[in-house]
Amino acid sequence: MSETVYGPVTDWATDFDHGSPAYAANQHKIWEDLKNSGCPIAHTDRYGGTWLPLTHEMVHSIAYDTDHFSSEGPVVGQLKPSEVPDRIGAPIGPVPPISSDPPFHNEARRLLLPAFSPKMIDPWRDEVIEICNKLIDDMGDADHIDAALQYSQHIPVMVIARMLGLPVEDGDRFRGWVNLVLSGIGEERTEERMQKFMEFNEYLAYHVNDHKENPREDLISFLLNAEIFGEKLSLEHAVGTVILLLIAGIDTTWSGIGSSLWHLATNSVDRRRLVENPDMIPTAVEEFLRAYAPVTMARVVKEDMEFHGVQMKKEDWVLLPFPAANRDDKQFANAHEVVIDREENRHAAFGLGIHRCLGSNLARLEMNVAVEVFLQRFPDFSVDANEMVTWSTGQVRGPRTLPFVVNARA
């Protein structure tokens, strides 16, 4: 937790810490209080200087302005991108395309788009249904379950491992590495952390080599043969993209599924409506994505500049809190209410502009199927009052434990 490095927050407008447990627990109120006090963009000296714009308009304009804001550092860390040893700088970045800027970004992204297009993703539906049902079968007839530990956290891992061509049994290790990269942002750069990064790299090197020797029909083999600007991808590029696909799809979707189930466990009217009208699930999932958007991204300021009256300095971090944009009442009617049949919903949970989540079709499929199957099998469930629901900290937000009582099963 970042308090180990930076200490508790004294003032959210001038000293916020988006990696703190307090932010994870109270973010909706923090944004509202900041906006109401006339501060639509907060600042902190932490992480070497970071900005937090809160309106949909600001988030939208920064996401579109790739001339002034670079994607070189999509996750805020204690080191600025230029301070990272052996870094691959802009416009490529370490994990293309999320860390890339135009014009390189367009090519690196275009190569991946077909594999994640709706017509390629839809056929995975039956497999996702099977995965979800199997996870519920494995719970036996227990009436106390954990919907995060026994359900939501497994679904995206199993799918992406199959798509990439990595052993599905290694799910626990993948999740460990996801935590290392995304939740540990404020932790000291201890030897233990460095050791884990090394293990991750060795694991990937092993599987990439294995794919070189034994090519197959999966995304790793595809990347090893793919070309950009008429040449094969560099090994760093291919491995960087494998890392990205592994990391980007796991705790994000796990968070999206978990938040949806948490909402349904705590709102019995909505739960009953969806049990009785499963056709409404896709619309409800969009609303869960809006209201509990899991992902905040970051940019790096390219040169000193003014933005909405504040002076940003070269290399400052700028967070893109899509979750805050999704609760902006200038953009959404009743922005703070969860309206599961909301008709007009231009939410930004999957980002805005050129970095729109490449996995959004897959993520939506997984969320829809996960909610559908859970409600089919458990038409009535609630949070276990004797246990704690815990939430992640950092740029990806979602429940990490979901102790539920099953009140009815089908």
- Positions that interact with ligand HEM (CB under 6 A): 63, 71, 74, 97-98, 109, 156, 160, 244-245, 248-249, 252-253, 256, 294-295, 297, 322, 349-351, 355, 357-359, 362-363
Q: How far apart are CA 100 and CA 341, in angstroms?
A: 36
Question: Considering beta carbons, is residue 12 or 104 the nearer one to ligand HEM?
Answer: 104
Sequence-ordered list of residues with C-beta below 8 angstroms from that of 206, at least 6 positions apart, any chain: none
Q: How far apart are CA 340 and CA 345, in angstroms?
A: 11
Could you tell which of another protein, ligand HEM, none binds residue 92, using a CB distance below 5 to 8 A set by kind?
Answer: none
Could you tell me the smallest distance in angstroms from the CB atom of residue 278 to another protein? Answer: 16
| Residue carrying structure tokens 């293309």 | 96
Could you tell me the smallest distance in angstroms from the CB atom of residue 55 to another protein? Answer: 16
Could you tell me the smallest distance in angstroms from the CB atom of residue 381 to another protein? Answer: 28
Could you tell which of another protein, ligand HEM, none binds residue 74, using a CB distance below 5 to 8 A set by kind?
Answer: ligand HEM
Question: Considering beta carbons, is residue 136 or 164 the nearer one to ligand HEM?
Answer: 164
* Nearest in space to 339 (alpha carbons), one of 348, 330, 327, 350: 327
- What residue ranges bind another protein (CB under 8 A)? 110, 113-114, 116-119, 282, 286, 343-348, 350, 352-354, 356, 360-361, 364
Could you tell me the smallest distance in angstroms from the CB atom of residue 286 to another protein? Answer: 8
Phi, psi values for residue 346, rounded to 5°: -95, 50
Cβ–Cβ < 8 Å for 173, 203: yes
Could you tell me the smallest distance in angstroms from the CB atom of residue 113 to another protein? Answer: 4
Question: Considering beta carbons, is residue 19 or 156 the nearer one to ligand HEM?
Answer: 156
Q: Which residue is nearest to ligand HEM (CB)?
A: 359
Could you tell which of ligand HEM, another protein, none binds residue 240, using a CB distance below 5 to 8 A set by kind?
Answer: none
Could you tell me the smallest distance in angstroms from the CB atom of residue 332 to another protein? Answer: 11
Q: Token pair for residue 261?
A: 């189930």
Angle between helix axes 235-266 and 281-291 (nearest 10 degrees) is 110
Question: Considering beta carbons, is residue 98 or 373 the nearer one to ligand HEM?
Answer: 98
What's the one-letter identity of residue 159?
A: V
Question: Considering beta carbons, is residue 263 or 406 the nearer one to ligand HEM?
Answer: 263
Could you tell which of ligand HEM, another protein, none binds residue 118, using a CB distance below 5 to 8 A set by kind?
Answer: another protein
Question: Considering beta carbons, is residue 92 or 136 the nearer one to ligand HEM?
Answer: 92
Could you tell me the smallest distance in angstroms from the CB atom of residue 365 to another protein? Answer: 11
Could you tell which of another protein, ligand HEM, none binds residue 359, using a CB distance below 5 to 8 A set by kind?
Answer: ligand HEM
Could you tell me the smallest distance in angstroms from the CB atom of residue 10 to ligand HEM? Answer: 29
Could you tell which of ligand HEM, another protein, none binds residue 239, using a CB distance below 5 to 8 A set by kind?
Answer: none
